[in-house]
Amino acid sequence: MISLSHKPYIREIAGSDTAVLFIHGILGTPEHFRDFIPLVPASWSIFNILLDGHGKTAKDFSHSSMEQWKSQVSRIMHHLSEQYDHVLIVAHSMGTLFALSEAVAHREKVRGLFLMAVPLKLFLRASAPLNSLKVIFDRVSEEDAVAVAARNAYSMEPSRKVWSYAGWLPRYMELFKEIKRTRGLLPLLDVPCYVFQSENDELVSMNTIRYLQGNRKVEVSVLRRSRHFYYHPEDYAYLLEGFQSFVERNLY
191 assigned to some structural domain? yes
Given a cut of 80, is residue 164 above it in pLDDT? no
Q: What band does 247 get if pLDDT is binned at 50, 70 and 90?
A: very high
Interstrand relation of 193-198 and 110-116 (parallel, antiparallel or unpaired): parallel
C-alpha pair distances (Å), 179 with each of 7, 41, 123, 143 = 26, 32, 13, 34
pLDDT digits (tens, 9 = 90+) for 61-111: 999 999 999 999 999 999 999 999 999 999 999 999 999 999 999 999 999
Confidence at residue 2, expressed as pLDDT on a 0 to 100 scale? 44
Question: Which residues carry out catalysis?
Answer: 93, 201, 228
In whole numbers, what is the pLDDT of the chain averaged over residues? 92
Give Cα 155 to chain centroid, integer Å. Answer: 13
Number of structural domains in the chain: 1
2 assigned to some structural domain? no
User: Between 57 and 84, where is the model more confident?
Assistant: 84
User: Between 235 and 163, where is the model more confident?
Assistant: 235
115 assigned to some structural domain? yes
Given a cut of 70, is residue 44 above it in pLDDT? yes
83 assigned to some structural domain? yes
Confidence at residue 84, expressed as pLDDT on a 0 to 100 scale? 97
4 assigned to some structural domain? no
Confidence at residue 151, expressed as pLDDT on a 0 to 100 scale? 86
The range of the structural domain enclosing residue 139 comes to 9-249
Q: Which residues of 113-148 are buried (b: 16+ CB within 10 A; e: fewer)?
A: bbbbbbbbeeeeeebbeebbebbbeeebeeeeebbb
Confidence at residue 250, expressed as pLDDT on a 0 to 100 scale? 94
Confidence at residue 165, expressed as pLDDT on a 0 to 100 scale? 76
Confidence at residue 51, expressed as pLDDT on a 0 to 100 scale? 97
Given a cut of 50, is residue 1 above it in pLDDT? no
Separation between Cα atoms, residue 183 and residue 50, nearest integer Å: 24
23 assigned to some structural domain? yes
| CATH code at position 155 | 3.40.50.1820
Q: What band does 161 get if pLDDT is binned at 50, 70 and 90?
A: confident
pLDDT digits (tens, 9 = 90+) for 109-159: 999 999 999 999 998 887 776 777 777 767 778 888 888 888 888 888 877
The percent of residues above 70 in pLDDT, for the chain, comes to: 96
Instruction: Indicate the range of 54-68, 151-165, 235-249 predicted with least confidence.
Output: 151-165
